[in-house]
Structure formats: structure tokens, C-alpha cells
């Protein structure tokens, strides 16, 4: 009577034969793609067969217990799968390799048949050991190929990472050279907007010079107010992160900017990943905190933002920060 192993053997044999026939036929791009998907079928049957065999102890000629036998089965499956998938690239091999690729899956299944029915043929013990040796060779081949594949993959990844790092360094160097050339083009009296472009320059010397020139910029506050009224990102960043001892006269412009930007960010409340924008939003409130310390009042604008931030997912920390600003202002 047929059992589950015989059924799996039959399915694996039939699908393997079908794949072998299909891969020997001329196919176009669509046909090759279709075959590529069908290749998984015999691998699935073979995997089920091997793992059931290991579970039933039929691989007990391998010492070490169930775990080792499971590892053994995986090695066989690797060889089986590589051979199956290798049939689709038959034109890349010579005739000897083609023959090996075609016959390996069938030999593995034939060896499994001998192992499964060993008790039915007690006088064919040498055949059993030939089958065991064949499966052992498939295991060693499978894990050897897997190890080589992992090694080659790691080598490729290391090479790719090295090339990517080198490319990024070159890009940074090019950017730094471009910045240096652009900075050299600045006149003795550049616009504040032009000078602000270099406050985060990659070249430390250029950045230091830009910061010094910004601190001593003529009518700095008035020019900053003009840029804040245009929602200029560089001006916002400068006030929030670099400008020490802010004058309170910047507070009205900062308040107008907060009111305008609240409308700009209106869709944020519908964003499932709104929290990822915290870095972009925080300077608005860091600057507000500095102006609050200087004596400015931004209560209405901060209250509107606090109400809004509470509606945005992932921005609870920022909402609490604004809440603290409101509480501080109420106490003062």
C-alpha cells in the first residue's frame, strides 16, 4: 500500500521529469519566466519528502541525532534545488555539465527511494549503502555550494560597500570643493541670504568664517526679519541654532512665521508617519524658546501649534515641548 512517502516520491519524480522536459524546449522570455516559477514545485515536494524522512528516522545512517539529520536533509535539498534551477541555464554549460544537472535530481530521488524501501529488499544492502553515500555526497555538495555562495555574496557586499563609501567620499569632496569655490565668489558685502548658505559648510574654515561674518553682519536683525517674513529655512535655522542672545524684536516676525507655517503643515495631521518630520519642525520651537527667554511672547501661536501637534501621530514629544513653553510663558 502506498504511504505518504511514496506519494511525495511520485510527485517529486513527476514534477522533476516535467521540468526537465520543459527546460529542454525552446522558450521565449515569457516562457522562461513561467518555467522559473514552476521550478519551485519539485523543490517543494523534495523538501517535504526529505524532512518527513528525517522526522521518521530514515536518515539514521547519519550519526548525531535528529538535528544533524535535519541539517543533512537541508544539504541534500540545496543540491537538489541548485540542480533544478540550473536546468533553466542549460545554454551556459557544456554537454557534460548539462547531463550532470539533469541527472542529479533524479539520482537523489532514486537514492531516497532505496532508503525508504530498504526493508523491502533486505538482500540489497550494498545498494542501500550506495544510496546513503550518494545522499551524503549531495549533502556535502549542497553545504559546500551554500558556503561558497555565502562567501561570494559577502565578498560582493564588501566590494559594493567599499565602492559606495568611496563614491560618497568623492561626492563629499566634490561638494566641499564646490562650496569653497562658491564661497570665494562672494563679494565683500554679500546678501544675508547668500551668506546663510555657508553656515553649515563642510569645510570647517569656511563655516567658521561664515559664522563670524554673520555675527557681524550689518543690520542683521532687520535682514533676518525680512527673510523670516518669507519663511526662509536658512534664516529659521540660524535663529534657532546659531544666534545667541536673540533680540526681542525678532519675536513678532517669528510669530507671523509660525502662523503661516501652521497652514503650510496642515496635511501633517493625516500622515501616518508624521513623527518622522519632528526634526524639521523642532527649530520653530527652539527659536520660540530662545525668544521667550529674551522676553518675547508667542502665546497665541504656540497654543495653536500645540493644539495641532496633538492631532499628529508620533509628535507627542514635540507637543509636550510646546506645552512646556506655554506653561513657562504663563508663569512669567
What is the reported pLDDT for 30? 46
Which cell is 174 given?
A: 566634490
What is the reported pLDDT for 23? 67
Length in residues, the chain: 332
Distance from C-alpha of 148 to C-alpha of 136, rounded to nearest angstrom: 18
What is the reported pLDDT for 148? 85
* CA 237 to chain CA centroid, nearest Å: 30
Distance from C-alpha of 183 to C-alpha of 80, rounded to nearest angstrom: 63
What is the reported pLDDT for 28? 42
Nearest residue to 287 via CA among 241, 229, 219, 234 = 241
Distance from C-alpha of 328 to C-alpha of 322, rounded to nearest angstrom: 10
* Dihedral pair phi/psi, residue 112, rounded to 5°: -65, -35
What is the reported pLDDT for 36? 58
* CA 73 to chain CA centroid, nearest Å: 32
User: How many CA atoms does the CB half-sphere of 50 hold within 13 Å?
Assistant: 29
Which cell is 164 given?
A: 559606495
- Under-70 pLDDT residues of the chain: 1-2, 23-37, 87-101, 121-124, 332
Domain ranges of the chain: 4-159, 219-331
What is the reported pLDDT for 40? 82
User: How many CA atoms does the CB half-sphere of 274 hold within 13 Å?
Assistant: 21
Instruction: Assess contact for 325 and 292: CB atoms under 8 A.
Output: yes
pTM of the model: 0.59
Amino acid at each position: 500500500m502506498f504511504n505518504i512517502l511514496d506519494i511525495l516520491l511520485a510527485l517529486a519524480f513527476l514534477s522533476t521529469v516535467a521540468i526537465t522536459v520543459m527546460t529542454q524546449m525552446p522558450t521565449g522570455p515569457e516562457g522562461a519566466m513561467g518555467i522559473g516559477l514552476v521550478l519551485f514545485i519539485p523543490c517543494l515536494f523534495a523538501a517535504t519528502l526529505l524532512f518527513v524522512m528525517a522526522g521518521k528516522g530514515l536518515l539514521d545512517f547519519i550519526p548525531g541525532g535528529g538535528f544533524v539529520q535535519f541539517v543533512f536533509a537541508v544539504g541534500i535539498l540545496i543540491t537538489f534545488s541548485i540542480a533544478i534551477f540550473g536546468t533553466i541555464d542549460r545554454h551556459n554549460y557544456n554537454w557534460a555539465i548539462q547531463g550532470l544537472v539533469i541527472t542529479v535530481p533524479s539520482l537523489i530521488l532514486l537514492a531516497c527511494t532505496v532508503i525508504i524501501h530498504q526493508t523491502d529488499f533486505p538482500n540489497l544492502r550494498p545498494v542501500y549503502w550506495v544510496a546513503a553515500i550518494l545522499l551524503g555526497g549531495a549533502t556535502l555538495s549542497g553545504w559546500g555550494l551554500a558556503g561558497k555562495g555565502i562567501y561570494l555574496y559577502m565578498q560582493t557586499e564588501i566590494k559594493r560597500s567599499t565602492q559606495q563609501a568611496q563614491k560618497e567620499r568623492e561626492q563629499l569632496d566634490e561638494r566641499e570643493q564646490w562650496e569653497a569655490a562658491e564661497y570665494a565668489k562672494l563679494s565683500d558685502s554679500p546678501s544675508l541670504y547668500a551668506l546663510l548658505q555657508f553656515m553649515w559648510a563642510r569645510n570647517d574654515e569656511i563655516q567658521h568664517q561664515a559664522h563670524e561674518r554673520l555675527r557681524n553682519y550689518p543690520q542683521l536683525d532687520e535682514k533676518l526679519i525680512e527673510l523670516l517674513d518669507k519663511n526662509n529655512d536658512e534664516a529659521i535655522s540660524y535663529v534657532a541654532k546659531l544666534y545667541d542672545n536673540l533680540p526681542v524684536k525678532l519675536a513678532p516676525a517669528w510669530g507671523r512665521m509660525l502662523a503661516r507655517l501652521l497652514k503650510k503643515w496642515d496635511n501633517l495631521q493625516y500622515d501616518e508617519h508624521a513623527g518622522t518630520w519632528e526634526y524639521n519642525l523642532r527649530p520653530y520651537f527652539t527659536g520660540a524658546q530662545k525668544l521667550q527667554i529674551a522676553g518675547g511672547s508667542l502665546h497665541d501661536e504656540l497654543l495653536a501649534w500645540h493644539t495641532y501637534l496633538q492631532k499628529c501621530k508620533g509628535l507627542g514629544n514635540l507637543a509636550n515641548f510646546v506645552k512646556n513653553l506655554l506653561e513657562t510663558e504663563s508663569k512669567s
